[in-house]
A and B are shown apart, each in its own frame.
Chain A
Amino acid sequence: MNNRFPTLLGLLVLPLALFSSCKKDSDTLDSTGSVNFTVRNVAGAQDLALNTTAATTAAGEKFTVSTFEYYLSNIKFTKADGTTYAAPDTYFLVNQEKPASLSFTVPGVPAGDYTGVSFLVGVDAQKTGLTDPVTFTGDLNQANNMYWTWNSGHIFLKLEGTITSTTPSKPLTCHIGGYTDPNNAIVTAAPAFNGAKLTVQAGHTPQLALKADVTKVFDGPNPVALSTFTGAHMPSAQSVQLARNYAAGMFSVEKITTE
């Protein structure tokens, strides 16, 4: 008696489950695709070559770059009608020294035509504020040396090099991070598609080619004079200013290819 009900229910549910799972599978196949991101780091009109390229700010000051790394996370796609898709668990560390890191893929994006993308330059407060090291896997692993061990939290952007337009030249250090007020340096970049469309469909991996101009760390809403710049090493008001600079102008969309 007691057993019959579940059995009957099972008989009822089984075909339903079969049908719905078939439907779901085909749905899933048809309704999502992957987007491949590539990043080309540049200094103005030149490709960025570590230790060689002479980068020039809008004010004409010059610097070379030995390290250029940053996190892109919380990637979000926007359709023409304003609806968005936030890709879960997207944390990518871009490191100019590691070519493999200049390309990454976001799977599971619902099919459709997208007219915009946005992402955090950095790591969201909820994630970086966690204290269990088990939660920091892959690109977020502290072993990547993008984490402040004395002030728990990820370094969102690391730019090191030499300021060469001063006499003598001097070291350049920008370690930008911080996720609590008043020095919250988590910023969002939303490079414009300029009318182009990113078409996501099953079986295709469209490519979104981004360009990142390192000079925009210092140029932008808060121009920084390198001659008097003493570096950024911790969450601070200046770090927030630099973050607003790179949020505003560092990233642009070079090309969108659908294949």
Chain B
Amino acid sequence: MAARRRTWWVGQRISWLLLATLGIAGSAAVAHLRRPAAALAVPANFPALVYEVAKNQPNEATFELGRQLFYDPRLSSDGTISCGSCHQQSRAFTDGQALALGVAGRRSARNTPALQNLGWHRSFMADGGVRGLELQALAPLTSPQEMNEPLADALAKLNADPEYRRRFAAIYGPGKIDTPQFLKALAQFTSALISADSRYDKYVRHEPGGTLTAPEQRGLALFQQKCSGCHATDLFTDESFRNNGLDRTFPVDSGRAHISQLPADAGRFRVPSLRNVARTAPYMHDGRFATLPEVLAHYAHGVRPSRTLDPLLRQPDGRLGLPMSAQEQQALLAFLNTLTDNSLLTNPRFAPPSVAARHQPTLAGVGR
């Protein structure tokens, strides 16, 4: 009644306070919280960030909390699956499976996407159904095929854990751990997963180590000619939804149409980035291609017609796909391998916290 209304108001006030707190977190008393996560600088060859970092100012303590959450299997219904179960660092945060494996051996309907440069996404998931970086985490958390955990249950687990309560309180102040704090902390980790230091990046930025071999350069030229219509900019995606000719009909997964309910969107899926593509096998939204040569062969001579097939895959002479000789495919492969970025794949900062602890000098070890 009136009390209910008041609670609601207080809740809203607190959340605005929280926002303010985020902005000024620890300006004096907890200066270490202010230490920015350097990884959120925009690389010179990238477009502007989409994610509103100002509403979730990066700092080391929140990043570390986000990392703890990311790798905590207790957040799944049976305590077996963490975000990191399917999003494995060495595979650019994919899992090597055609379809993601969730609790109790359940298979999700789609291939695990790589996690990188998420701050540049305008939408998330292969069908673009999720509209923000922070909201994204809710999808795998609550999906019965993935972590199978209702949000309220996840929050209850966090609130029952004294260590989490202490860490959240140190950042957001006293009080219950609620949805915004949980999602914002997680987003500090996921938004920091930036890939911008592959050999290709160094090549375009004219940095040391930025050399491409002759075949790789041939591959780059071919890429710009045949692939960059969709895999555009140095993010290697234009973020559009396209039908790349995998099937003639889409009875199992209609992709973007599942969200929009528009027939024109049937079979259209989000164009994935190709960063670290050599590490993210298998490929396509359903993981149907095990290797990159299979992917290239699909574009060369496997494209199937349908009403929504992307126009870029129809040649003026009526042929489907992207005509490519075997030699050209070899060159493209060579180029795609230059997109592997060890600064993401091996950085101990992004590893599970316990593993990382072994890599980082402890206070006791500093003197030695």
Contact = CB atoms under 8 A, between A and B. Distances in A.
B239 to A, nearest CB: 15
Given A134-B55, A150-B130, A36 B180 contact: no
Contact of A152 (B16, B135, B179, B262): B135
Given A132-B55, A137-B12, A137-B15, A143 B155 contact: yes
A234 B11 CA distance: 29
B60 to A, nearest CB: 21
A129 B16 CA distance: 18
A221 interface: no
A131 B131 contact: yes
Nearest to A129: B131
Interface in B255-283: 258-259, 261-262
B179 A132 contact: no
Contacts of B179: 133, 136, 141-143
A132 B132 contact: yes
Interface of A: 34, 36, 89, 91, 100-101, 103-107, 129, 131-139, 141-145, 147-152, 182-183, 205, 234-237
A105 B4 contact: yes
Given A105-B2, A149-B141, A183-B261, A141 B134 contact: no
Given A105-B4, A131-B131, A137 B151 contact: no
Interface of B: 1-2, 4-5, 7-8, 11-12, 14-16, 18-19, 52, 55, 125, 129-135, 138-139, 141-143, 150-152, 155, 178-180, 183-184, 258-259, 261-262
Among all A-B residue pairs, the 10 with the closest Cβ atoms: A131-B132, A138-B8, A149-B138, A151-B129, A152-B131, A137-B11, A133-B180, A143-B152, A138-B11, A134-B180
Contacts of B8: 91, 137-139
B138 A142 contact: yes
A101 B8 CA distance: 12
B162 to A, nearest CB: 21
Contacts of A143: 151-152, 155, 178-179
Contacts of B259: 151
A234 B260 CA distance: 10
Contacts of B134: 131-133
B125 A236 contact: no
Contacts of A236: 261
Contacts of B178: 141, 143
A136 B18 CA distance: 13
Contacts of B131: 129, 131, 152
A34 B2 contact: yes
Given A105-B4, A152-B131, 16 more contacts: A36-B1, A100-B4, A104-B5, A107-B5, A129-B131, A131-B135, A132-B55, A132-B134, A133-B180, A134-B16, A134-B55, A135-B15, A137-B15, A138-B11, A142-B138, A151-B259
